[in-house]
C-alpha cells in the first residue's frame, strides 16, 4: 500500500518540480540560519558559524539531487531529458531528417500500397463468414483451355447434383437505369439466384434477403441495395424496406440493405454492384431473355457460379464430383457440352475471370517488383546515410562513454532519435500509400483489365506502415549502437590520421551506391518502355484521319421503347449536319477505340476447317469518307446495298490477305456471330487496316456491313469537321436540343480524346514508374557522388602526399576514384541485365513495344552512363582541387 502511495506521490511530483525546488530551497535556508544561530550562541564568530553550519549540513547540491531522486521517477526524468536531447539533435540535422523521411516514406509507402493491392486482388478471401468455404465454379473448354460462363440449365444441373456443396448460386452483371423524380442514373446491378446471400451467409443491414421473399407478393420485382447506395442515393432512409424503386422503368420493392463490409465477389467488372435483383426478374427487365428463351438454352452462357462447400469437404473432393457432373452433361448434351468441363477455385483467388489471372498477376508482379526495387533503393540509401552518420557520431559517442555515460543510456538515446526520424517517414509513407491507392482506384485498368477496386487506408495498413517505418528507423539507430562496444576514444581521435579504416568503410558506401545504380537502371528501363508504348499509341497511324473527327455516342432513354435505334441516330445525324463546319456525317454501330467490339468468325472458303477471328461493324455509305479510311480496292457501299438480296461487305487489308492467290473482291465470306446467325456476304472492296480495338493493335481483321438489323440499339454518329473539332464538340455538348425523343447523348469525343482514353492506363503506369525511376536516379546519383567524395576526403592526406611528391593532380584524383567508377560501370551492366528480366512483366502496360526493346535499353545505358560520368567529373574536380599544403596542415 505504502509502495503504491509512494509511486503515486512520485508521479504527481513530476508536475511540480519547480515549486518543490523553491520550497526546498526555503527549507534549507531556514535550517542553515537556525544552525548558524546555534553556533553563534555557542560563541563562534558569525563568519565561522556560517561555515561550520554549511559543513554540518552537507553539500547542498548533492542533497538536492538525492532529494529529487526520491522526489520523482528518475527514469522518467532521464527519459524526458533524452527525448529533449534527441529532438535537438534531429532538429540540428534537417537534411538528415528530410533524407530519412523521404527514404522511409518512399520505401515503406510504395510497398504498403502495392502489396495491399496485391493482397486484395489475389489473396484476400471474400468478406463473408467462413470465406474459405466459398468457391467459384467456371466452365472450361477442354480443347482450347478457355474459361466459359455457365448457362442457366447447366447451373441447375450443378446445383441439384453437387452434394459436396451446401449451396450453389449463379449471378450476372447488368447495367440498369435507376430513376427517382427527375433524377436518372446508370447504376451497376447484379441479377442473382435467390439463394445468393444465404449461400454467402451474409446478414443484411436492414430487411431480409431474397429467400424470405420468394413466395411473397410482388416477386420477382424486389431488390436489395448496397449500403453505399442507400446512403448516397436514398438518404439513409431507415424506412427504405418496402419502398418502391424504379429500375429500367419497372417498379421494384426494396427488401434489404447489403452492408458495406461486403465487397463484390467479382472485381473483373469495373464498379461495385449497387443493386441486386433476383434472376427471375431479368425476363421482365430485359424482354429479350424471354423472347430468346435464354433460361432454357444451354448455349446461352450468361452467368457465373459461386457456391459454398459443406463443412469438412475439401476443394479436391468437390472438384472430383464436379468432374463427374460435367462428364455426365457432356454425354447428355453433346451439342453444347461436349469438351466442356468445369473447374472449381477458392473464391478469394478468382475475383475476376480466371483467364485474366495471368494478365493481372503479371501486372501486379511488375508493380510489386518495382516497389520491391524501391525498397532496396531505400535500404541502400539508409545504409549510405547510416555510414555518414556513423562517421559523424563515433567521436561524440566515444567522448560520452569516456565521460562515464552508460551504454544503455546512449543506446536509448540513439533509439529515441530513430523513432523521431521514423515519424515523418511514417507520415510520408502513409500519404504516398494513399496517393498510390487513389491512382489505382482512379485508373483500374492499370493492371490490364478494368477492376472494381476500392482500395483504402485501413487500420491494419496504418499499423503495418507504422511498424515498417519504425523498424527501418530503428535499424538505422541500432547499427551505430551495436558498434558502441568497439568504439574507443583513442582510436576515434586518431582515425582521421589513417586511411585504411576510411578505405574499409568506403566499401560499405560503394556497394549500396552500386546497388542503387542497378535499381535505377531497372526502373528506368520499365518507365522508358511504358513511355515508349504511350508515345507509340499517341502517335500511331490509326488507319483513319483522327484530326477532325468527332464521335457522338447515343443511348436509349429508359422507359422509352425505341423500335429503330438506327433511324434515331440518322435523325440525330441529320440535325447535326445543319451545324456549320461539318464536312461529312455518318453512323457506325461501334466507333473505333470505344472499348466495345463485336467479335465474329469469318470463313472465306479457302480452307475447309479454318475460320478467322474478326470484328464486324455496321456502317453507312459515308462512313469511310467521314472517318478518312482509304478504300484500297473495289468500291464503297452505295445507297441500296443495305436492302440488297445478296448482302455485301467491305473487308480490311489483313482479312483480304487470307485469300493468298486471289483478289478478295467478289469472293464470298460466311460470318458467324456467336454460335448462330450465320450470314453469307459478298466482298465488294478492301479498305485500310484500322486500329479499331486499340491504338497499338492494327492486325485485327474487320468486316464492314450495311445490312442493319432493326433493333432498339442506337449507333454512334460520326462527324468530320472543317474547323477545329474541339470547338464543334463544345457546341454540340452545350446544345443537345437536336436530339429526338427517347435518345440521350452520352459523350462527344474527338479523335484525340479516343486515343488519350485508350492510352491512359499505360500513361498512368508510365507516370508511376517514371516518378520512381526519376527518384531512383537522383538517389543513385547522390549516393554515387557522396561515395566518390567520401573516397576523396578520407584519402586527402594520401592524395596530398602524392601530389606533393610530384603526381599530376588530375591523374592522382583519377586513380583514387577509379575503383568506385569501375564499380558504377559494372552496376550499369548488371542493371541492364536485370532490366532484361524485369521488362517482360510490363507486357500488359506496354502494348505495341517489344519487352526487350533495344532502343529502350540503349537509352537506359546512355542515361546512366551520362549520369555516372557527370557525377565522376564533379568528384574529380573536387579531388583535383586538393592543395597538399592545406591538406597536410589540417590533418
Of the candidates 614, 631, 633, 613, the one whose C-alpha atom is nearest the C-alpha of residue 622 is: 631
Instruction: Find residue 702's DSSP bridge partners.
Output: 615
- Number of neighbours of residue 733 by Cβ within 10 angstroms: 12
Complete DSSP assignment for 247-268: ETTEEEEEEEEE-TT---S-TT
Nearer to other proteins, 37 or 493 (CB): 37
8 Å CB contact between 342 and 139: yes
How is residue 526 annotated by DSSP? H
- CA 215 to CA 554: how far, in whole Å? 40
Closest approach of Cβ 15 to other proteins, in Å? Answer: 15
Mark the segment that binds other proteins (CB under 8 A) among 55-63, 161-169, 362-370, 735-743: 55-63
d(CA 503, CA 65): 47
290 counts as binding other proteins under rule CB under 8 A: no
Cβ-in-10-Å burial (0-12, 13-18, 19+) of 698 comes to buried
- Which of 24/757 has CB closer to other proteins? 24
Please count the residues of the chain.
891
Contact predicate 665/565, CB 8 Å: no
Cβ distance to other proteins smaller for residue 21 or 757: 21
Rounded to the nearest whole angstrom, what is the least distance from the CB of residue 65 to other proteins in the complex? 9
**Among 56, 74, 722, 870, contact with other proteins (rule: CB under 8 A):** 56
Answer for which of 17, 22, 25, 37 binds other proteins (CB under 8 A) is: 37
Using CA atoms, how far apart are residues 669 and 656, in angstroms rounded to an integer? Answer: 11
Of the candidates 33, 48, 317, 583, which one interacts with other proteins according to CB under 8 A?
33
Q: Would you call 164 helix, strand, or coil by DSSP? A: coil
Question: In the complex, what is the shortest distance from the CB of residue 114 to other proteins, in angstroms, rounded to a whole number?
Answer: 55
> Smaller CB distance to other proteins: residue 5 or 215?
5
Measured from the CB atom, is 30 or 710 closer to other proteins?
A: 30
Label the pairing between strands 301-309 and 150-151. antiparallel
State the minimum distance, in angstroms, from the CB of residue 78 to other proteins: 18
**Residue placing its CB nearer to other proteins in the complex, 63 or 327:** 63
Judged by CB under 8 A, does residue 491 bind other proteins? no
Q: Computed from CA positions of residues 833, 834, 840, 845, in that sequence, does the dihedral angle turn out positive or negative?
A: negative
CB of 56 to other proteins, least distance (A): 6
Could you give the 3-state DSSP secondary structure of residue 442?
helix
For the chain, percent helix, then strand, then coil, each to nearest 5?
55, 15, 25
Least Å distance, CB 406 to other proteins, is 23
Residue 29 to residue 791: CA distance in whole angstroms? 62
* Distance between CA atoms of residues 524 and 528, nearest Å: 6
Site for other proteins in 11-30 (CB under 8 A): 23-24, 26-28, 30
- List of residues 6+ apart from 551 with CB closer than 8 A: 591, 594, 716, 717, 718, 747, 748, 749, 750, 751, 754
The site map against other proteins for 762-801 (x = CB under 8 A) is ----------------------------------------
Nearer to other proteins, 68 or 836 (CB): 68
Find the shortest distance in angstroms from Cβ 9 to other proteins. 4
Could you list the beta-strand ranges (E) of 579-735.
582-588, 599-603, 612-618, 631-634, 648-652, 668-673, 676-687, 702-705, 716-721
Dmax of the chain from CA atoms?
Answer: 143
Among 22, 45, 63, 635, binds other proteins (CB under 8 A): 63
- Residues 640-678 as b/e (b if ≥16 CB within 10 A, e otherwise) read ebbeeeebbbbbbbbbbebbeeeebbebebebeeeeeee
Q: Which of 14, 17, 22, 34 binds other proteins (CB under 8 A)?
A: 34
Closest contact distance (angstroms) between CB of 76 and other proteins is: 15
- 30 versus 328: smaller Cβ distance to other proteins: 30
Which one of the spans 63-71, 126-134, 458-466, 538-546 is the region binding other proteins (CB under 8 A)?
63-71
Span interacting with other proteins, options 43-51, 62-70, 435-443, 813-821, rule CB under 8 A: 62-70
Residue 137, strand partner residues: 305, 344
Sheet of 716-721: strand order equals 582-588, 716-721, 549-556, 743-750
Cα 796 to chain centroid, rounded:
48
Counting contacts by CB under 8 A, is residue 70 touching other proteins? yes
Task: Scan residues 71-130 and list those touching other proteins (CB under 8 A).
Answer: 71
**Segment contacting other proteins (CB under 8 A): 65-73, 148-156, 500-508, 755-763?**
65-73
Contact 623, 704 (CB under 8 A): yes
On the question of a cis peptide bond just before residue 220, with omega within 30 degrees of 0, the verdict is yes
The binder of other proteins chosen from 15, 42, 43, 58 (CB under 8 A)? 58
Phi, psi of 148 (to 5 degrees): -130, 155
Of the ranges 51-59, 286-294, 626-634, 703-711, which one interacts with other proteins (CB under 8 A)? 51-59
State which residue, 63 or 98, has the beta carbon closest to other proteins.
Answer: 63
**One character per residue 147-186, x = contact with other proteins (rule: CB under 8 A):** ----------------------------------------
Size of the site for other proteins (CB under 8 A): 29
Stretch that binds other proteins, among 50-58, 456-464, 780-788, 812-820 (CB under 8 A): 50-58
> Applying CB under 8 A, which part among 56-64, 617-625, 849-857, 873-881 lies near other proteins?
56-64
Near other proteins by CB under 8 A: residue from 16, 51, 59, 815 = 59
Query: In terms of DSSP bridges, do strands 301-309 and 165-180 run parallel, antiparallel, or are they unpaired?
Result: antiparallel
Nearest distance, CB of residue 390 and other proteins, angstroms: 42
49 is an interface residue for other proteins by CB under 8 A: no
Query: At closest approach, how far in Å is the CB of 48 from other proteins?
Result: 18
Does position 66 interact with other proteins (CB under 8 A)? The reply is: yes
Q: With respect to other proteins, which residue has the nearer C-beta, 9 or 288?
A: 9
Selected binder of other proteins within 21, 60, 411, 471 (CB under 8 A): 60
Which residues in the 600-619 window bind other proteins by CB under 8 A? none
Contact 682, 613 (CB under 8 A): no
Closest CA to 693 of 806, 764, 616: 616
CB closer to other proteins out of 50 and 752:
50
CB of 77 to other proteins, least distance (A): 15
Q: Does 214 bind other proteins (CB under 8 A)?
A: no
Q: Work out how close the CB of 20 gets to other proteins at its nearest, in angstroms, rounded to a whole number.
A: 9
Shortest distance in whole angstroms from residue 19 CB to other proteins: 12
Residue 69 near other proteins by CB under 8 A: yes
Task: Give whichever of 44 and 712 is closer to other proteins, judged by the CB atom.
Answer: 44
Among 40, 50, 57, 359, binds other proteins (CB under 8 A): 57
Read out DSSP for 198-234?
A: HHHTPPPSEE--HHHHTTSTTTTSEEEEEHHHHHHHS
Q: Name which of 23 and 431 has its Cβ closer to other proteins.
A: 23
Binding window for other proteins (CB under 8 A); candidates: 6-14, 314-322, 614-622, 788-796:
6-14
Nearer to other proteins, 70 or 358 (CB): 70
State in Å, rounded, how far the first CA of the chain is from the last one.
63
DSSP 306: E
CA distance 493 to 690: 75
Residues in contact with other proteins by CB under 8 A are 2-3, 5-6, 9-10, 23-24, 26-28, 30-31, 33-35, 37-38, 56-60, 63, 66-67, 69-71
Amino acid at each position: 500500500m505504502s509502495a503504491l502511495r509512494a509511486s503515486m506521490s512520485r508521479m504527481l511530483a513530476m508536475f511540480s518540480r519547480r515549486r518543490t525546488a523553491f520550497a526546498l530551497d526555503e527549507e534549507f535556508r531556514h535550517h542553515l540560519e537556525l544552525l548558524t544561530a546555534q553556533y553563534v550562541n555557542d560563541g563562534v564568530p558569525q563568519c565561522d558559524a556560517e561555515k561550520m553550519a554549511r559543513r554540518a549540513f552537507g553539500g547542498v547540491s548533492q542533497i538536492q539531487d538525492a532529494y529529487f531522486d526520491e522526489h520523482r521517477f528518475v527514469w522518467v526524468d532521464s527519459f524526458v531529458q533524452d527525448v529533449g536531447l534527441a529532438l535537438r539533435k534531429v532538429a540540428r540535422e534537417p537534411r538528415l531528417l528530410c533524407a530519412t523521411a523521404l527514404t522511409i516514406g518512399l520505401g515503406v509507402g510504395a510497398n504498403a500500397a502495392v502489396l495491399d493491392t496485391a493482397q486484395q486482388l489475389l489473396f484476400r478471401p471474400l468478406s463473408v463468414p467462413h470465406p474459405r468455404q466459398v468457391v467459384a465454379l467456371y466452365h472450361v473448354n477442354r480443347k482450347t483451355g478457355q474459361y466459359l460462363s455457365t448457362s442457366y440449365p447447366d447451373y441447375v444441373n450443378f446445383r441439384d447434383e453437387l452434394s459436396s456443396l451446401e449451396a450453389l448460386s449463379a449471378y450476372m452483371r447488368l447495367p440498369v437505369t435507376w430513376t427517382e423524380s427527375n433524377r436518372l442514373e446508370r447504376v451497376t446491378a447484379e441479377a442473382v439466384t435467390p439463394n445468393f446471400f444465404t449461400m454467402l451467409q451474409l446478414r443484411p443491414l436492414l430487411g431480409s434477403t431474397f429467400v424470405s421473399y420468394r413466395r411473397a407478393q410482388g416477386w420477382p420485382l424486389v431488390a436489395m441495395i448496397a449500403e453505399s447506395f442507400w446512403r448516397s442515393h436514398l438518404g439513409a432512409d431507415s424506412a427504405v424496406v418496402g419502398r418502391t424503386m424504379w429500375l429500367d422503368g419497372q417498379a421494384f420493392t426494396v427488401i434489404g440493405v447489403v452492408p458495406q463490409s461486403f465487397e463484390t465477389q467479382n472485381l473483373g467488372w469495373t464498379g461495385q454492384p449497387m443493386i441486386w435483383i433476383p434472376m427471375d426478374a431479368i425476363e421482365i427487365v430485359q424482354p429479350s431473355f424471354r423472347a430468346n428463351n435464354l433460361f432454357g438454352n444451354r448455349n446461352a452462357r450468361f452467368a457465373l457460379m459461386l457456391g459454398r462447400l459443406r463443412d469438412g469437404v475439401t476443394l479436391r473432393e468437390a472438384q472430383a464430383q464436379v468432374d463427374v457432373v460435367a462428364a455426365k452433361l457432356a454425354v447428355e448434351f453433346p451439342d453444347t457440352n461436349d469438351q466442356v468441363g468445369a473447374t472449381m477455385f477458392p473464391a478469394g483467388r478468382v475475383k475476376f475471370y480466371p483467364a485474366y489471372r495471368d494478365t493481372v498477376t503479371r501486372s501486379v508482379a511488375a508493380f510489386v517488383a518495382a516497389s520491391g526495387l524501391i525498397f532496396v533503393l531505400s535500404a541502400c540509401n539508409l545504409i549510405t546515410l547510416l555510414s555518414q552518420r556513423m562517421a559523424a557520431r563515433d567521436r561524440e559517442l566515444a567522448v560520452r562513454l569516456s565521460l562515464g555515460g552508460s551504454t544503455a543510456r546512449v543506446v536509448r538515446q540513439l533509439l529515441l532519435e530513430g523513432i523521431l526520424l521514423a515519424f515523418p517517414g511514417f507520415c510520408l509513407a502513409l500519404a504516398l500509400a494513399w496517393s498510390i491507392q487513389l491512382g489505382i482506384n482512379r485508373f483500374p485498368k492499370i493492371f490490364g483489365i478494368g477492376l472494381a477496386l476500392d482500395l483504402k487506408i485501413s487500420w491494419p495498413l496504418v499499423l503495418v506502415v507504422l511498424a515498417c517505418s519504425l523498424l527501418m528507423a530503428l535499424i538505422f539507430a541500432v547499427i551505430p549502437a551495436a558498434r558502441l562496444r568497439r568504439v574507443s576514444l583513442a582510436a576515434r581521435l586518431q582515425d582521421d590520421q589513417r586511411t585504411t579504416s576510411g578505405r574499409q568503410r568506403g566499401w560499405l558506401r560503394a556497394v549500396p551506391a552500386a546497388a542503387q545504380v542497378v535499381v535505377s537502371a531497372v526502373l528506368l528501363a520499365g518507365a522508358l518502355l511504358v513511355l515508349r508504348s504511350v508515345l507509340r499509341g499517341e502517335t500511331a497511324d490509326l488507319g483513319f484521319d483522327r484530326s477532325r473527327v468527332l464521335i457522338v455516342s447515343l443511348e436509349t432513354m429508359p422507359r422509352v421503347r425505341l423500335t429503330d435505334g438506327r433511324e434515331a441516330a440518322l435523325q440525330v445525324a441529320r440535325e447535326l449536319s445543319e451545324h456549320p463546319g461539318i464536312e461529312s456525317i455518318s453512323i457506325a454501330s461501334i466507333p473505333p477505340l470505344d472499348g466495345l467490339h463485336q467479335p465474329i468468325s469469318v470463313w472465306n472458303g479457302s480452307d475447309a476447317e479454318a475460320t478467322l477471328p474478326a470484328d464486324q461493324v455496321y456502317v453507312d455509305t459515308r462512313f469511310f469518307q467521314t472517318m478518312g479510311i482509304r478504300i484500297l480496292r473495289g468500291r464503297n457501299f452505295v445507297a441500296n446495298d443495305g436492302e440488297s438480296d445478296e448482302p455485301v461487305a467491305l473487308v480490311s487489308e489483313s482479312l483480304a490477305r487470307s485469300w493468298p492467290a486471289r483478289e478478295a473482291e467478289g469472293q464470298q465470306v460466311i460470318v458467324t456471330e456467336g454460335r448462330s446467325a450465320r450470314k453469307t456476304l459478298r466482298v465488294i472492296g478492301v479498305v485500310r487496316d484500322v486500329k479499331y480495338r486499340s491504338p497499338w493493335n492494327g492486325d485485327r481483321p474487320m468486316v464492314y456491313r450495311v445490312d442493319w438489323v432493326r433493333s432498339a440499339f442506337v449507333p454512334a454518329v460520326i462527324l468530320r469537321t472543317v474547323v477545329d473539332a474541339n470547338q464543334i464538340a463544345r457546341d454540340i455538348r452545350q446544345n443537345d436540343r437536336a436530339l429526338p425523343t427517347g435518345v440521350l447523348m452520352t459523350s462527344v469525343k474527338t479523335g484525340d480524346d479516343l486515343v488519350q482514353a485508350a492510352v491512359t492506363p499505360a500513361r498512368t503506369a508510365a507516370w508511376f514508374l517514371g516518378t520512381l525511376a526519376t527518384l531512383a536516379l537522383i538517389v543513385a546519383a547522390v549516393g554515387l557522388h557522396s561515395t566518390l567524395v567520401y573516397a576523396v576526403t578520407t584519402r586527402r592526406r594520401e592524395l596530398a602526399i602524392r601530389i606533393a611528391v610530384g603526381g599530376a593532380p588530375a591523374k592522382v584524383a583519377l586513380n583514387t576514384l577509379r575503383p568506385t567508377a569501375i564499380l558504377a560501370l559494372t552496376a550499369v551492366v548488371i542493371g541492364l541485365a536485370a532490366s532484361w528480366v524485369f521488362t517482360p512483366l510490363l507486357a500488359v502496360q506496354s502494348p505495341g513495344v517489344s519487352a526487350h526493346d533495344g532502343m529502350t535499353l540503349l537509352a537506359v545505358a546512355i542515361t546512366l552512363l551520362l549520369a555516372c560520368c557527370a557525377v565522376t567529373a564533379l568528384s574529380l574536380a573536387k579531388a583535383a582541387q586538393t592543395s597538399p599544403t592545406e591538406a597536410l596542415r589540417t590533418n
